[in-house]
Amino acid sequence: MNDASRKSKRLGIGLALVAVGMVGLSFASVPLYDLFCRVTGYGGTTQRAETASDEILDRKITIDFDANTGRNMPWKFKAVERKISIKIGQTGIAYYEAFNPTDKVITGTAAFNVSPQKVGQYFTKIDCFCFTEQTLQPGERVDMPVTFYVDPEIDRDINTREVETITLSYTFFVTNEASAENEQEVSSNEIAEKTSAYVN
């Protein structure tokens, strides 16, 4: 093997090691980024509390509720009430409704965030269906509550004190492989038929 071949081989091995390292770093960065978001509220990540706020301001703020499903999730998912107006620091409760129109048992998990993103650290959940997986039987419909308040610190932060509306958004995804496989077997006609019956 000549010098040129040996150099090419070493270069190839070096590039391969760099690629492997980058992939490993990308996987490691996901939980680190998630932790960072939860601590700082960055990216619209909300906070969690065990009890209600001990301070309630006179100023009211509007909370919009948004509901979505992932590409492979056949559930029908919506906010029961599209918006409410509450005082900052006041405990609020909202309900989301999920319906499984298929003949399969499906387990889902809700991803969530708030917008504008800068208020994530001040939107505090006391209780939420998003903390655990949700399993719906065929044809089952459930109302799922979320209990929350907006931290009064939002009014003392010069970057957020002007915010008058916060949007709380949830997206449900299928969360186990068995459910995902079952879900793919459901025909579009079956979903349309059962959805029509649900709407009517």
Q: Do residues 87 and 59 touch, judged by C-beta distance below 8 A? A: yes
Write down the pTM of the prediction: 0.64
**What's the first-to-final CA gap in the chain, in angstroms?**
76
In sequence order, the 6+-apart residues with CB closer than 8 A to the CB of 126 are 48, 49, 50, 51, 52, 91, 147, 148, 149
- Write out pLDDT tens, residues 158-181: 999 999 999 999 999 998 643 444
Token code pair at residue 155: 């009014």
Alpha-carbon 76 to chain mean position = 16
CA angle 115, 122, 37 (to 5 degrees): 70
Q: What is the pLDDT along the chain (200 residues), one digit of tens a residue?
A: 555 555 455 555 555 554 545 544 443 443 443 444 444 444 445 555 556 677 899 999 999 999 999 999 999 999 999 999 999 999 999 999 999 999 999 999 999 989 999 999 999 998 888 878 999 999 999 999 999 999 999 999 999 999 999 999 999 999 864 344 444 444 444 444 444 444 44
